[in-house]
Structure 1
């Protein structure tokens, strides 16, 4: 049960003076389970194979475990001051997640109004996380085929540091939003009046999208652009020259579902253009750098370029992904989940010409609601894929097979 407290002595410890028209909600959920996972990638005589059993792979499978505070103060005329602080943790070992941040999932404050929407500042979800990620029978969770973001990667999900975000009010089922995060820093160093060194960080992330929910129909769309423009200082003692990192990634997604009562049908399609697998995007901390199950292929592209970059880490990377899913009611408290995801990838940059990948993921799940706050769940999933190269003698075809079976329990408070 969520605990809604008037801002009295309990809240005064971190809000200062209490006001009768202020409130704070303490909330959370714990999600844990057991799973067996096996994945194998082969390429000629090369092979990578892993087997895992235990809590580690399936903790936070349906939703990440969390606790947090959210509150508001009525400012009059329909306006409110709002905030939310949310911390993620691993119930298997009690450790904080999201890089050991205190409030790594969300940490923002802002203003909202019934007529014009909400404007917030801080660490918060991208627009795609609100318009796309909730769609589909498995949403963006359940570690399908052993990977959290399946065939789409994290193009449908992300958190934005140091961001400004606007979300509109509901217009008869339609909402839209836009968010911006970025760092623009430039420093100059001059030694002995001769050597002049310049460093620059000018990376940014723009996220936008919208959703329409009316009766049995729900549609969501999103567009994200990540841009890196960073120049690092040379290491004079080692003779290492300055390095410039530039690149732009574009992602867009369109998802929708229709509830026929006896079954709900989900469809989705998305594209990625650019180095979404490159985690070195200066200080923006985009946290949207996963390419999902395709990550298992990247070690087999090592050495194809002199700069050491992998298949998904250059601007020539292209990805298309699609999904179809079904949610079928099973009695008053249960439902059956089924989905298929697929993707096609390629890279047009030097060193990767002719490299093409295909991926398929099949998943089946079941949820049984024990109460309003607690549920049991189970999932079985398998994935297959291939990565082809132009020169089959130097680089034989890489083949992927992976599977996961897991059960879990979730409760909210």
Structure 2
């Protein structure tokens, strides 16, 4: 159980955004931290061809972060968090992100009243559901096990134009710019939060804005969460596009087995496209150095998305070399309806969509943290 707890802590460092909500450490400190992941992936059908490639940031993202806290007395703390995501293969910042595009916020934390933070930060689809340990992707599959498939017509702005449904439920760590977020302390196992992102449009307070809400309950081995997010995207010369997400999830931890269940949805209010998914997963620490996990996911689009659907199965075997470093073997298989083209999340090349209804990825990788 010790290694399981350490592993969960490493994956939760994926953002460290929740650290302030759990209480800042006493005194003053500045910490440099990070995650690194690299490996070799085999893709059975990437644009009609097999591919063996170096791929990084899969099981966990490659992050370099700086966080700090200052004790202001009376149970009040000042906190900040700056996180950069980069490609380990090239050393460059992830395309489309700035230097601290993963997280950049400053705020105040009260031991009694909770936290208020301001900046570029996660909404509650990530904070409540993913960091609430209700998404199997945290321990089974990472980026490959977030949501994607034959749903490009959903047309979420900001995603690659060849795959506008990548991470359509925002749980891989999408952020809200220019936002203010409140997170309550935990009372009797309950906590809640709210976020507002400013659109910045003169004379139109509601244009381009974002809202998000989340609630969690944790009681020993059992936990559950719910979240809602709406983001309005503004593009020059085009109508505003609204994307709505909601989700509910739960987990239960036995002695050395953790089970998860999750339901998430998305709706594009501009074109009417919608997707829903349900999944169940689990992982078993059958030895202090070995862990195995599996997850099944079903995704379904509405009539606007041609009623396309997809089944996905993910499995992973972890070997803990130390408290910080893990090697793993992973397999992911997605099958869509006939006439649709499979696309596993994280196959980021412009021609990465399968030429048919199935796609498989096998991967061997290594992950470490500092």
Question: Please, what TM-score do these two structures have when normalized by structure 2?
Answer: 0.77
Query: For residues 161 and 387 of structure 1, do their structure 2 counterparts lie closer, same or farther at Cα, with a shift above 3 Å needed?
Result: farther
Q: Which residue of 1 aligns with 2:213?
A: 208
Q: Deviations over 1:125-175 (max 9, x none)?
A: 11111111242333287367x564346933142211111111111113222
Q: Does 1:218 align with 2:218?
A: no
Q: Which residue of 1 aligns with 2:361?
A: 404
Structure 2: which 5+ residue stretches go unaligned? 1-25, 150-165, 341-354
Q: How does 1:2-41 map to 2 (within 5 A)?
A: 21-39=27-45
What's the RMSD between the two structures over aligned residues? Answer: 2.7
Equivalent residue in structure 1 for 2:287, among 320, 331, 334? 331
In 1, Cα distance between the equivalents of 2:49 and 2:227? 35
In 2, Cα distance between the equivalents of 1:21 and 1:216? 31
Q: Find the residue that maps to 1:185 and give its secondary structure.
A: coil
Q: Does 1:86 align with 2:79?
A: no
In 2, Cα distance between the equivalents of 1:218 and 1:159? 24
Query: For residues 380 and 184 of structure 1, do their structure 2 counterparts lie closer, same or farther at Cα, with a shift above 3 Å needed?
Result: same
Query: For residues 159 and 50 of structure 1, do their structure 2 counterparts lie closer, same or farther at Cα, with a shift above 3 Å needed?
Result: farther
Q: Which residue of 2 aligns with 1:142?
A: 141
Q: Find the residue that maps to 1:84 and give its secondary structure.
A: strand
Q: Which structure shows the higher strand fraction? A: 1
- Using the TM superposition, give the Cα deviation of residue 245 of structure 1 relative to its aligned residue in structure 2, in angstroms: 0.4
Q: Does 1:227 align with 2:232?
A: yes
Contact 1:367 1:378 in 2 (8 A): yes
Q: Find the residue that maps to 2:100 and give its secondary structure.
A: coil
Q: Find the residue that maps to 1:55 and give its secondary structure.
A: strand
Q: Which residue of 1 aligns with 2:300?
A: 344
Q: Does 1:265 align with 2:221?
A: no
Query: For residues 138 and 244 of structure 1, do their structure 2 counterparts lie closer, same or farther at Cα, with a shift above 3 Å needed?
Result: closer
Contact 2:258 2:284 in 1 (8 A): yes
Q: Find the residue that maps to 2:200 and give its secondary structure.
A: strand
In 2, Cα distance between the equivalents of 1:77 and 1:62? 40
Q: Find the residue that maps to 1:184 and give its secondary structure.
A: coil
In 2, Cα distance between the equivalents of 1:101 and 1:25? 21
Structure 1: which 5+ residue stretches go unaligned? 1-19, 41-47, 188-198, 233-242, 276-313, 390-397
Contact 2:71 2:78 in 1 (8 A): yes
Q: Which residue of 2 aligns with 1:177?
A: 193
In 2, Cα distance between the equivalents of 1:140 and 1:332? 16
Query: For residues 110 and 366 of structure 1, do their structure 2 counterparts lie closer, same or farther at Cα, with a shift above 3 Å needed?
Result: same
In 2, Cα distance between the equivalents of 1:107 and 1:96? 15
In 2, Cα distance between the equivalents of 1:333 and 1:174? 33
Higher relative contact order (CA 8 A, sep 6+): 2
Query: For residues 141 and 165 of structure 1, do their structure 2 counterparts lie closer, same or farther at Cα, with a shift above 3 Å needed?
Result: farther
- Using the TM superposition, give the Cα deviation of residue 252 of structure 1 relative to its aligned residue in structure 2, in angstroms: 0.7
In 2, Cα distance between the equivalents of 1:140 and 1:226? 28
Contact 1:150 1:361 in 2 (8 A): no
Q: Which residue of 1 aligns with 2:322?
A: 371
In 2, Cα distance between the equivalents of 1:33 and 1:62? 9
Q: Deviations over 1:219-273 (max 9, x none)?
A: 121101123466x5xxxxxxxxxx5503433211011111232532211112222
- Structure 1: 4+ residue segments shifted above 6 A: none
| Higher alpha-carbon Rg | 1
Contact 2:141 2:315 in 1 (8 A): no
- Using the TM superposition, give the Cα deviation of residue 51 of structure 1 relative to its aligned residue in structure 2, in angstroms: 3.0
- Using the TM superposition, give the Cα deviation of residue 342 of structure 1 relative to its aligned residue in structure 2, in angstroms: 0.5
Query: For residues 176 and 159 of structure 1, do their structure 2 counterparts lie closer, same or farther at Cα, with a shift above 3 Å needed?
Result: same
Q: Which residue of 2 aligns with 1:7?
A: none
Q: Which residue of 1 aligns with 2:8?
A: none
Question: Please, what TM-score do these two structures have when normalized by structure 1?
Answer: 0.69
Query: For residues 172 and 131 of structure 1, do their structure 2 counterparts lie closer, same or farther at Cα, with a shift above 3 Å needed?
Result: same
Q: Find the residue that maps to 1:315 and give its secondary structure.
A: coil
Query: For residues 37 and 165 of structure 1, do their structure 2 counterparts lie closer, same or farther at Cα, with a shift above 3 Å needed?
Result: same
Equivalent residue in structure 2 for 1:360, among 292, 300, 311? 311
